[in-house]
Structure formats: structure tokens, C-alpha cells
Amino acid sequence: MTRAAAVTTIPVRAASGAYEVHVGRGLLERLDSLLPPLPGARVAAIVRPRALSGLAERAAHALARRGLAVHAIDVPAGEPAKRLEVVESIYQRLAAIPAHRADPVVGVGGGATTDVAGFAAATWLRGVPLVSVPTTLLGMVDAAIGGKTGVDLQAGKNLVGAFHQPSAVIADLEALATLPAAELRSGMAEVIKAGLIADPALAASCLADGPAAVAGDLDRLAQLVEAAIRIKAEVVGADEREAGRRAILNYGHTLGHALERLAGYQGLRHGEAVALGMVFAATVSERLGLAAPGLVDGHVRVLRAAGLPVGGVELDPDAVLEAMGTDKKHGGAGGGLRLVLLRAEGEAELVPAPERSLLVEAIRSLAAEPRVGRDGAER
């Protein structure tokens, strides 16, 4: 089998339905052969930002070979797609086609695109098939897998959503070759997170291969992408609806989502916010005595290897804590905020947030730019 034809298939066995994630090169042109049966389907609605019309067209040609009439639905690029008015516009287009219950919605784009396409698929006619075709590193390793769909409100990120597993996920690595380094860096935050919460060997690989990966080395990226997807597939298979173990996938996201909200979802990439959130969480873990000293240093080294921020940001603790209060992991009804913390790399757990003063100290500590060498020693 040639490199171009090689495909790695990773099963996701969620309680509501199993599906496969296909990872490889040149998969857009093979979309028709990679999809499962779609009985009764006559049309396919491709949801994509206009800037990705070329990639979407390649997918459309493959879908047409399945006998589907393909319709394109434009959405804004990036986080602005995740608004209720955008979802309504998708509904109006689906009604005009018209799309019926057997007809798939195909999301082609980054995590925001697959999120909004997934939410539309989950709610149109109370649920239609979803095919996710992530075109960013972040989308491939995180957003497109696991069935979480959602949109943002002014009050917070992903507050409106539904669980709706895709019928298939197609991750064509060639789409990553066109991404700027900043987008690859952002996606690497989720790969690193997967290693930190569940697989120290993956974290070590990110330290070694992070610079090459963000420089666009598809061979290095392929190995990291597949490892991260396997971790998410295992976690989602064990806990589809975040009743327990799945919460660990939110490591770094409580502070990260708060920072994105405070930035108005502009100017701060998701992975950059999550990187700072992981440093914050590691700091809290150490200061609580949950983790031994050295956890933060390890985070700094691996995140820096991928070119991600680890400090040097002045934050208002009161504003950050208020924004964190809208996090979905809030215990509610007096339960209070909960955080995903680490006892060590690969040992994550969801715990009640410690006293406010410790959180304030950890937030303020992000103002300094850590001086840590590759060997972990303070410089």
C-alpha cells in the first residue's frame, strides 16, 4: 500500500452508537468509500466556511459518487460560526433543499465548523446523520470526535449544545499542510493535553516532535494525531456523556474558556488559551499538594516546544474567576466550581476548586514568564 493510500482507522465505541475515525492522506477524494451505509439518503448538505470551498468541493465530488445531490451551506470562519443565528441560517437552508431525516449534514472545516454543523445535525428534524471532516489539527484530535456539539452565548462558551455522535470522521492530513504555524500550534495544545491527562509517552513525544510538528512535518503529525485520537476514543467510549471520566478531557479548559470569553473570542486562539489553562491547573495541583513539585516545569517544557504560551499575561483575577463561574463543570446548586487537576502526568481527576486565595495566586502567577530549562532546572 502506498503512503497516499494508507489510512488508519480508529473505532469509537460510544454507548449511543459506534463509528470510525479515518486518518490518512488523500482521504477527501475517497470520502465515498470511507463512509458507512446511509440508507435512504438522497442529498448531502456540506456546511463549510467559504474559504474552504476548494476542500469542500473535493468532498462534494466524492459524495456525488454515492449518488447524493450535494448542497453547500456557508458559515462564518472560526468561532463566529458558533452563534444561534448561524444555526438558524443552516436550518433555513436545510428546509429549502429540502433535507430529510436520512440525509447527512457534512461539516468541513475546523472545530467551530464541525461544532455548529454537529449541533444543526443534532436538532434538525430531531437528528440527522452527521459526517465530520475536520481540516485543522484541533478539529482532528478533539472537536470532531466524541459527539459534543454546541454554540456560544455571550454568557459563556458552548453553553447551548447536544450530544450527537457522527456517523464517521474523516481526517485528511493533507489539509494540515495548508495551515499556518499558528493554527498548528493551537491544535498541538489538545495533543499535549491528551498526553498529560492519559499518556506520558505521548507527552514525551510532543516534547521531542513538537517543533517539527508545528513546522508542518506530516509524518510527525500523523503519529501524534493518531495517538491523541486513540486517547479520546477510549475516554469517550467509557463515558459518552461526561458522567465521570470524560471530564478529564477538559484539562486546562476551565481557565482557557474563561480567557476566550474575556477576549471576546477574538485574538486568542483556543489552544493558546488552553495552554495557559494547563499551566494554571498544574500550578494549582502543585500548590494544593496534589502533585509533587516539577509538574509545572514539565508543562512549561512541552508547551514551549510547540511554541505555545506559558505565561507573560497580566490577568484580573476577579474577572477571570467570574468568567470561570459559567463553566459547565460547575457543580451547581451549591456544589461550586470544579477543576480537572493532575496528581502526575497521566493521572487526572475532577476535584472541587480550592479556596479563592489559592486560585487568585495561581492566576497571578501567569504574569511571569517561567524560566525553565529543557532539563527542568530553574534558570
Active site residues: 126, 148, 190, 232, 242, 246, 250, 253, 257, 270
- Cα 350 to Cα 358: distance, rounded to the nearest angstrom: 17
- Cα 316 to Cα 367: distance, rounded to the nearest angstrom: 10
- Cα 71 to Cα 81: distance, rounded to the nearest angstrom: 18
Nearest CA to 364 out of 352, 375, 373, 356 is that of: 356
C-alpha distance from residue 20 to each of 8, 36, 97, 140, 171 (Å)? 10, 9, 28, 13, 11
- Rounded to the nearest 5 degrees, what angle is found at the Cα of 147, between the Cα atoms of 245 and 172? 110
- Cα 146 to Cα 233: distance, rounded to the nearest angstrom: 7
**Beta-carbon contacts of residue 350 (< 8 Å; ≥ 6 apart):** 247, 248, 329, 338, 339, 340
Nearest CA to 339 out of 282, 264, 292 is that of: 282
| 324 and 254 Cβ atoms separated by less than 8 Å | yes
The number of helix segments (H) and strand segments (E) in the chain equals 13, 11
C-alpha distance from residue 234 to each of 13, 198, 230, 260 (Å)? 8, 10, 6, 28
- Cα 229 to Cα 235: distance, rounded to the nearest angstrom: 10
- Rounded to the nearest 5 degrees, what angle is found at the Cα of 233, between the Cα atoms of 227 and 234? 95
| 111 and 126 Cβ atoms separated by less than 8 Å | no
